[in-house]
Chain A
Amino acid sequence: MTQECKSVVENDACTACLKKEAVQVSRRAFFASLLGVCSGAIATVIGMPMFRYVLYPVQAATKSAKWTEIGDAREFEGVSEPVTRTIALTQRDGWREVVSHQAVFVSRSTEGHLQVLSPICPHLGCSVSWHSNQNKFVCPCHGGQFSADGSRISGPPPRGLDKLEAQIKDGKLEVQFQYFQSNLPDRQLLS
């Protein structure tokens, strides 16, 4: 900086005075940047954990779902038409655990495999029910109809009933209850 002054100004006295000023300015700038660095250090020590702390629920929400037991697998061996089962769904809501009850349908796919269907209509989210006399699922809200294997027959729903991940473990039928985006032609997980 002082170099520049010299090249611009020829007068010796002025050079000295400029030099002095430049030293003062650089001293001030040094103090200011020192304070800035210190403040930055403090803000980092407090700010970083704070950032993670505030955003914790956002990243924790994407953890994988848990399996919920529906019942004994043998119970469903003879299932020919869909049966309703109420499952106790344990959901984490921050620091509390909420047990909610949710209905699911256990039915057979066209190939004859056991499958678990969500009762939530893929149209606008009403609960469909099984009408055995008509041999189909009917949504009470807007009349969507689905066959016993969950595929769409008629009405406004853009897709069939959503199949839930299911498994048989230690002789128990288990399901991963999940919610899906409504009113889309393909099944998309709601997270």
Chain B
Amino acid sequence: MNDETVKTAPSGGRLASRVLDWFDQRTGVKSLAGKVLDEPVPGGARWAYVFGSGLLFILILQVVTGVALALYYTPTAETAHTSVAYITKQVAGGSFLRSLHSYGSSAMIIVLGLHFLQTFLYGSFKGRRELLWISGALLSFLILGMGFTGYLLPWDQKAYFATTVGTNVAGQVPVIGSLLTRILRGGDTIGTLTLSRFYVAHVFLIPASILMFVAAHILLFRKAGPAGPIHEDPVSPKLAPEPFYPRQVLFDMGFALLIVAALAALSYLRPVTLGPIANPADSHFLPRPEWYYLPMFEWLKFWEGPVVVVGVVVIPGLVAAALFLMPFLDRRLERRIWRRPIPALAVSIVVFGMIYLGAKSHMDDREGPTAQQLTQQQEEEKAYSATPFEPYTNAPETSSAGAAIAQTVDPLVSKGKGIFADRGCSACHGDNGTGTPLAPSLVGITKKLPQDRLVALLHNPNARMKAGGMPIVDASPDEMTALLAYLGTLGKGGSNSSASLSSSPEGATDAQASLLAKNVR
């Protein structure tokens, strides 16, 4: 039908359709769109089927907001917190986008739960859909991994302490536990290396895996086709199909709108807070994970002593294995949940158990001194979020100490340094002769060139140097000796460099260099 319309279209047809045809002839985009949109849905479109595409939608939202956050975020223990504070308190729209990303992760877990329940209750994983189910189970764990790694990145109190606890859990695994914790942390304690690891996992490794498995999940889904309503035969559907477009697409769009509206309203009305910077010395802080980890958090409290391995490894391992192997355990083609009592019971125990544990953890935290401490922490977090943004400043200056050291430097060298400064050498070669975009570094120049050659070049620069703006250094032999003595000390540690550092911190050189670069252009 599409082809016909192409042929019968008037020769001077609209530009848009001609451009589309041009692309179609080269890419086959129309037939691809047809394949995607005309997918048959046995028994017709339903609201029950919106959760999968809802997850895909949230994933895209998380990618978009995540990339935005990465624009200002820096993953070092020293600066992470300041950069998140900058995003939250200063950058226009920053608080909103960060809140969207944070609430988006919760939305992801909720919709993931709904997607799981829908496919499980409808028995939609049955009938040659084992790999489809397993890829979905894998994706669930990857999403939990995103939540775990993302929680540390703001580097505030709760991030730091929750990750301390979280990585300690891995330590409970027998034999390899402590090694596992050290691998996760990049050492014994949580520090800047941990942050780098979590950042790389959160931004590169896990997202790459997620995209890969989402592609596999969708491909496998299209291969098997939608399973349709609960009475439908999952292998060879009998109900009249309805194409995916337009009704199911509209349902999916409606759900996406609902998600965006909820997330945007929440982000706008109750933006996520940022606590004070992580302070490992604070021994009072009570760590609490994100709400979807609360059941696990509560569960771990039950297990003590030698049986801890049962609680931390054996039972969660069995539950995870059962989840992955669901299509092999519940393998009859019977889809109706009331005819599948054992899987229904098993899943109910796990689901209601998790709800119970989460609720219990929540209720426990509302009593006694724990509640007081948690409330106080919340107040502190709110208070910190309300304070104006404080920029990150360099390490405190050591000018007085530096000046004292400078006086002990060889007088010849300081004379040379004076000449270097007076003659404006530093304007192009940088304050410590370390080079700028305008002129090369002079560090080690006295070793690269023999002294007489260097003196000759200074008295009479070569063509290339002249082209770069190098003037003739018209100095007396005494001054030249002093200048060379100073050049010889460039780049060396010890008193001299620390003295020059204090008189002109890195920032000055940067600012000047960029200024000079601008001036020259």
Contact = CB atoms under 8 A, between A and B. Distances in A.
Do chains A and B interact in one complex?
yes
Interface of A: 28, 31-32, 34-35, 38-39, 41-42, 45-46, 48-56, 59-60, 89, 91-102, 120-121, 124-129, 139-143, 179, 181-183, 190
Interface stretch (B138-146, B152-160, B407-415, B419-427): B419-427
B368 interface: no
B354 interface: no
Nearest to B85: A95
A22 to B, nearest CB: 14
Nearest to B508: A100
A126 B424 contact: yes
A98 B505 CA distance: 9
A-B pairs, top 10 by smallest CB distance, nearest first, are A49-B93, A98-B507, A100-B508, A95-B86, A140-B424, A182-B519, A53-B93, A31-B246, A97-B391, A125-B519
Contacts of A42: 256-257, 260
Contact of B64 (A28, A46, A91, A129): A46
A49 B97 contact: yes
Interface in B467-481: 469, 471
Interface string B90-102: 1111101100100
* Interface size band for B: 35 or more
Interface in B484-521: 503-505, 507-508, 510-512, 515-516, 518-520
20 contacts: A28-B246, A34-B250, A35-B246, A35-B250, A42-B256, A46-B100, A54-B68, A56-B90, A93-B507, A94-B72, A94-B86, A95-B85, A95-B391, A97-B391, A98-B510, A101-B504, A141-B469, A142-B469, A182-B519, A190-B515
Interface stretch (B219-227, B378-386, B392-400, B445-453): B392-400
Given A101-B503, A190-B515, 19 more contacts: A31-B249, A31-B250, A35-B250, A56-B91, A95-B72, A95-B79, A95-B82, A95-B85, A96-B394, A98-B507, A100-B505, A100-B512, A124-B520, A126-B427, A128-B424, A139-B424, A140-B424, A140-B471, A182-B519
B82 A96 contact: yes
Which of A53, A56, A143 has most chain B Cβ within 10 Å? A53
Given A41-B257, A100-B507, A53 B86 contact: no
Contacts of B206: none
Interface in B178-193: none
Contact of A96 (B245, B250, B392, B515): B392
A100 B508 CA distance: 4
Contacts of A60: 90
B124 interface: no
A96 B510 CA distance: 14
B427 A141 contact: yes
Contacts of A59: 92
A46 B260 contact: yes
B318 interface: no
A51 B94 CA distance: 11
Given A93-B507, A94-B72, A96-B79, A53 B64 contact: no
A34 B257 CA distance: 12
Given A46-B61, A96-B82, A99-B393, A125 B422 contact: no
Contacts of A45: 260, 264
A129 B420 CA distance: 12
Contact of B511 (A38, A98, A126): A98
Contacts of B422: 129, 140
B428 interface: yes
B61 A125 contact: no
Which of A92, A120, A125 has most chain B Cβ within 10 Å? A125
B259 to A, nearest CB: 9
Which of A34, A55, A97, A142 has most chain B Cβ within 10 Å? A97
Given A35-B253, A52-B92, A53-B93, A97 B71 contact: no
A102 B253 CA distance: 58
B135 interface: no
Contacts of A129: 422-424
B83 interface: yes
Nearest to A48: B93
B154 to A, nearest CB: 13
A89 B471 CA distance: 29
A124 B470 CA distance: 12
A162 to B, nearest CB: 12
B459 to A, nearest CB: 15
Contacts of A56: 90-94
Interface string B296-319: 000000000000000000000000
Which of B68, B90, B93, B515 has most chain A Cβ within 10 Å? B93
B427 A53 contact: no
Interface in B185-222: none
A132 B520 CA distance: 29
Given A91-B507, A98-B511, A140-B423, A50 B250 contact: no
A95 B97 contact: no
A153 B93 CA distance: 52
Contacts of B394: 96-99
B471 A127 contact: no
A53 B519 contact: no
